[in-house]
Structure 1
Amino acid sequence: MKKKNQHIDNLTKTDNWIDYLKENSGLPGKRANLELLMIAVDLGDEEFFKSCLKYHDIIAPTNTQGEFVAMCGVTGLGKLVTTGKQEYFSLLKEYASDNRWRVREGVAFGLQIIGENDFEKLIHGIQDWVTGNNYEKRAVVAGLCEPKLLIEKNNSEIVLEILAEIIESINNISDRKGESFRVLKKGLGYGLSVAIVNNPEKGKAIFEKLLNTSDKDIVWILKENLKKKRLEKMDNNWTDRMKNASA
């Protein structure tokens, strides 16, 4: 909390937020300063976010301080959508396919901000992402598979149905060698279990239905989710049965 208050104080006292973000980004390195990112998004406005988005991949490649600035701008788009600026959904969708993985994470954070504010608005805004490219689908998975969005039963049911649709769509993906498919598959490898534990009855039924497949990548996704401790805590006996059924 002390560090957070210090960041807030420092930002309110400086006219050059972007330099401050760069210097305190944590990049290059393994972990970006996500606490600072959320503070910047909370305090920032449309003009600031647009200035952050000027840090494109040419001048701000992966794992640079500039990438963190871009990440702040992309996450901020979610905040702008909550203020009624629906047009920023399309820009978020573009950034979902950015070649920088932290920028893509910024899209997921932005979607979560929208979902916390208005879950129905989020679902409506990402309808065409569900049938979009692999990166767009991955953004949906990362954005929706957040426990705070799944507390209400109706929300978790909707998310589980979307996840099932995305997983089943893998049957129609022929090119599975690229980075976009890898990250989609990885995201689904944990996201489904997050949704299941928030709605076990619906989640178990969907999982068991998905087991009726011969697609090796879908089987991998299901097995990865069964490794998660959250499912064992939810229902150890069911999880063991599913492991045997998928063996």
Structure 2
Amino acid sequence: MKPRERWCVELRSLGPSEWTRFLGEHSGLPGPRANTELAIAFAEVADWNQISTATNDSDEYLAMCGTVALGARAADPGAMTKLHELASDSRWRVREAVAIGLQLLGDVSFGALEKIVEAWVDDHDPLVQRAAVAAICEPRLLRTPHAAAVAINICAKSTTALTRWPQSSRGASSLRSLRQALGYCWSVAVAAAPESGLSAFQGLGQDDPDVAWIVAQNLRKKRLKDLVGTAS
């Protein structure tokens, strides 16, 4: 039995009133890595009331679990306002949970995920753009030419959006988070569609120091380094 399946079984064996204690005990925190598999299991078995309670909890791990579950249900209009808010939450694990949840949605309906990331990449908030980039640039979701094209487009749009900010603003944490995501997400998107992806990636102007950094970071990734070497 896979870890996620085991966590689902354990959660279902407990009364909902016991979930808070159980999630806290098995969160993996404090520590370098939170228990993502348990959070995804929560997303599979929780109902709307449990999700709402978790997302509004001050505990970071409970909020993370609720956010993953909310993202997985983001096709529901009732989930979008809260999920958009959580994309720029002050807690980085909650922000990451937005992307994880949206990827779960993409597993079920890529079209629903596509609509969300296409809307979010045009958002004024760099953290919302970052959520769009991180959500779509997941290898398991990019197995068709169309999906890969969406990921490349999202990377390109968010990179352009970053360059529109004045240099004096680039030190903002939200912009640094977006830059960091682009520092690896381009390589994921390009690897999914090497021909069109390399063309878009190699067309990035490097006069902007942040774009130059993004290019350099991606070129360090083996999946892209190998492709560039092959194309040379």
Within-5 A mapping of 1:150-165: 150-165=142-157
CA shift for structure 1 position 233 = 3.0
- State which drifts further: 2-11 or 154-163: 2-11
**In the alignment, which residue of structure 2 is the partner of 1:11?**
11
Q: Given the alignment of the two structures, is residue 128 of structure 1 paired with residue 119 of structure 2, yes or no?
A: yes
| 1:194 and 2:196 are equivalent in the alignment | no
1:37 pairs with 2:30 = no
- For 2:100, give the aligned amino acid: F
Q: 1:230 aligns with which of 214, 223, 231?
A: 223
TM-score w.r.t. the length of structure 2 is 0.92
Deviations 1:166-200 (A, max 9, x none): 11122211211121111111110000000101100
What letter is aligned with 2:158? I
* Partner Cα separation in structure 1 for residue 145 and residue 19 of structure 2: 40
Whether 1:216 and 2:209 are equivalent positions in the alignment is: yes
Q: Which residue of the other structure, out of 94, 106, 111, is the alignment partner of 1:115?
A: 106
**Secondary structure at the residue paired with 1:128?**
helix
Aligned-pair distance for 1:53?
1.5
Given that 2:102 and 2:113 are in contact with CA atoms closer than 8 Å, whether structure 1 keeps it comes out as yes
How many residues are paired up?
Answer: 227
Shift of 1:116: 1.5
Displacement of 1:4: 4.7
SS at match of 2:119: coil
Aligned partner (choices 21, 27, 30) of residue 28 of structure 1: 30
Q: Would the alpha carbon gap of residues 4 and 137 (structure 1) be closer, same or farther in structure 2, given more than 3 Å must change?
A: closer
* Distance in 2 between residues matched to 1:201 and 1:184, nearest whole Å: 25
**2:133: which partner in 1?**
141
Partner amino acid, structure 2, of 1:69: L
Contact kept, 8 Å, 2:162 with 2:175, in 1: the verdict is: no
The change in CA–CA distance for 1:158 and 1:5 in structure 2 (over 3 A counts) is: closer
* CA apart distance, 1:6: 4.6
Tell me: CA distance 1:5–1:81, structure 2 relative to 1, closer, same or farther (3 Å): closer
Distance in 2 between residues matched to 1:222 and 1:122, nearest whole Å? 26
How far apart in 2 are the matches of 1:173 and 1:118? 33
Which runs of 5 or more structure 2 residues have no equivalent in the other structure? none
Alpha-carbon distance, 1:3 to partner: 5.2
The secondary structure found in structure 2 opposite 1:25 is coil
Deviations along 1:25-48, one digit per CA (max 9) or x if unpaired, are 011111101111111111112111
SS of the aligned residue for 1:214 comes to coil
For 2:219, give the aligned amino acid: L
Question: What corresponds to 2:179 in structure 1?
Answer: 185
Confirm or deny: 8 A CA contact 1:46 1:80 kept in the other structure.
no
Residue identity matched to 2:147:
N
TM-score, normalization by structure 1: 0.86
Task: For residue 237 of structure 1, report the CA deviation from its aligned partner.
Answer: 4.0
Q: Is 1:68 the counterpart of 2:70 in the alignment?
A: no
Residues 216/24 of structure 1: CA separation in 2 closer, same or farther (3 Å cut): same
d(CA) in 2 for partners of 1:176, 1:2? 42
> Structure 2 counterpart of 1:12, which letter?
R
Provide the rounded CA distance (Å) in 2 between the counterparts of 1:165 and 1:5: 37
> 3-state SS of the aligned residue for 1:126?
helix
Deviations 1:58-100 (A, max 9, x none): xx3xxxxx21110010111123235xx2231222111000000
Quick one: distance in 2 between partners of 1:205 and 1:221? 16
Structure 2 counterpart of 1:207, which letter? F
Q: What is the alpha-carbon distance in structure 1 between the residues aligned to residue 3 and residue 130 of structure 2?
A: 32
